[in-house]
Amino acid sequence: MNRMASRLFQSIVPLMPVVVLAPVLVLSGGCHDGPMYALKHANPYFTMRQWKADEAIGVTDHKRREELQSLANSMYAMPAERQQTWTPHLEQIYENDPSAEMRRLAILAAGRSKDATTIDLVAKGLKDDNLKVRMEACRALGERSEDRAAQLLASVAGESQDQDVRHAAIAALGKHPGEISTNSLRLALQDRDPATQDLVIETLRESTGKDLGNDPAEWIAALDGQSSEEPASGSLFR
């Protein structure tokens, strides 16, 4: 296990016994994003130490976040076998860390991994309690090539009640050319919300390299494989 993996993993283990305390702490103290917030308030020893003392006894919140961001940034360049060794660590972080930011970064890193099993972790992020994590999961699925990634995004685009998450899924669908994406974007074009229509049209412009104007009906006709003037013309994605 390399040094970064060891530091991240060791900082996760102490969280496990106190994860059950996190809901109580959040209810009593408001929203806190610190990766070690629950641990610091469950153990008075942490509250009596300043930042330098924290560093002396373990990895600080800032350092953990910095290292996980570094991991996500370098994931693309890693050999496939090394990426696979990180999968269980990312799962541990996502399952046990009360920090939404650490969970978001775990999803970001997982989405960039070539390990096929990490799509299961990214899929979990779609149901996270935190908006930032759900949106990151949508973006991560946009980077995946699997048909399942497109299917998951189509489900979110069609079912999510949160407009920000739905829009993140729509934008990510533009990176998945194919029938799943086409059908989902066509359905989204029928939405009465102008912001949603504008986003779908911009997504289609980027994914097809074509510009059919701002009328959703024109794009729907093209997605159906015909223009409004020439019913027999070819598909937009041909």
Q: How much is the pLDDT for 102?
A: 96
- Whether 110 maps to a domain, the answer reads yes
Domain co-membership, 119 together with 195? no
Burial of residue 81 (CB within 10 Å: 0-12, 13-18, 19+) is exposed
Tell whether 119 and 191 lie within a shared domain: no
Range of the domain at 159: 145-238
**The pLDDT value given to residue 187:** 94
Determine, yes or no, domain membership for 215: yes
Collapsing DSSP to helix, strand or coil, 16 comes out as helix
* Phi, psi at 69, each rounded to 5°: -65, -40
Write out the two tokens for 14: 């102490």
Domain total of the chain: 2
The answer to whether residue 139 is domain-embedded is: no
Of 96, 102, 94, the closest CA to residue 120 belongs to: 94
Looking at the structure, tell me whether residues 89 and 182 fall in a common domain. Answer: no
Give dist(CA 107, CA 141) in Å, integer: 10
What was the pLDDT predicted at 55? 47
Q: CB of 98 within 8 A of CB of 37?
A: yes
Of 89, 108, 134, the one marking the end of a domain is 134
pLDDT of residue 10: 54
Question: How does pLDDT run along the chain (238 residues), one tens digit per residue?
Answer: 566 666 665 555 444 443 433 443 343 444 444 444 444 443 433 433 444 454 454 567 888 899 999 999 999 999 999 999 999 999 999 999 999 999 999 999 999 999 999 999 999 999 999 999 999 999 999 999 999 999 999 999 999 999 999 999 999 999 998 889 999 999 999 999 999 999 999 999 988 889 999 999 999 999 887 444 444 444 565 4
Tell me: do 7 and 94 sit in the same domain. Answer: yes
What pLDDT, on the 0 to 100 scale, is given for residue 12? 54
